Chains A and B, each alone.
Chain A
Amino acid sequence: MEPAVLNLTYNGQCGDLPDDVAFDLSTAEIIEMAEEALRAGSFLGIDADEEATLQGFKVERYPAKDGTPNRLIARPSVPFGL
């Protein structure tokens, strides 16, 4: 398993999950994990929200480089139209 840091922006706050997650998880798995962690208040710097849903969010994947760890960034997807 390639470990990665999972970062999320939610309710005007941005924070990392303190535990590593697998870099190669599917987007759906990462979003589900982030949603559960958000409800439990596990993200550092983000207040718990028991009713949080991350429907409409996506995951950007940044491989480790120059000593930085793998990063998974969960953010809102912003397409318009059809």
Chain B
Amino acid sequence: MIETGVVFDKVGNPLFWHEPPGRSGGSIPDSNDLWEFLWEHREVVAGVAHSHPGSGVPHPSQTDVQTFSAVERALGKRLLWPIVTSQQTRFFKASGEGMFDYVEERHPPHIEPRVFLILIRELRRRSNVRAIPHLPRARLQKLKDWCVSFINS
């Protein structure tokens, strides 16, 4: 897995794939190219999504929220900051309270779900993340029971 970013417009179309040298499974380094793109396209930029390792519930790191806040102060506008794991996507936005307080946005305005789904799939592909199908709890339990009975047999 390798962390990857993407700048998108208000409906969720990708504008700029952020894949700088030096990124890893745990971080994406600072990049003047990303900042220049954000500044030059500030009228149409609506947010920046990036991938996180694993399949769990995405949360922004301290580095992430510092970047979110610094970019918004420089641009003079609020953005959406989705974080994507292999199974989940959560949108974050400034809470409006502390400078580094970011909260989940459950219903991002303007985003077209179908358009954004394509973006997420491509983000996962570029991050070498395989989406793991979600199994309902009952089916998962059935699978576990079968494994246990198979081992014991």
Contacts and interface: CB of A to CB of B under 8 A. Distances in A.
A81 to B, nearest CB: 3
A58 interface: yes
A79 to B, nearest CB: 5
A2 B76 CA distance: 32
Nearest to A12: B76
Given A53-B99, A55-B70, A56-B70, A78 B35 contact: yes
B73 A10 contact: yes
Contacts of B31: 78
Contact of B63 (A11, A57, A76, A81): A81
B120 to A, nearest CB: 16
A14 B24 CA distance: 32
A80 B70 contact: no
Contacts, number: 81
Given A12-B77, A82-B61, A57 B70 contact: yes
Interface residues of B, number: 31
A80 B63 contact: yes
Interface of A: 9-14, 52-58, 60, 75-82
Contacts of A9: 39, 74
Given A9-B39, A81-B26, A81-B28, A56 B67 contact: yes
B30 A81 contact: no
Contact of B67 (A14, A60, A78): A78
Closest 5 CB pairs of A and B: A81-B27, A12-B76, A56-B70, A76-B70, A11-B76
A81 B64 contact: yes
Nearest to B4: A80
B66 interface: yes
Nearest to B76: A12
A52 B28 CA distance: 27
A49 to B, nearest CB: 9
B69 A56 contact: yes
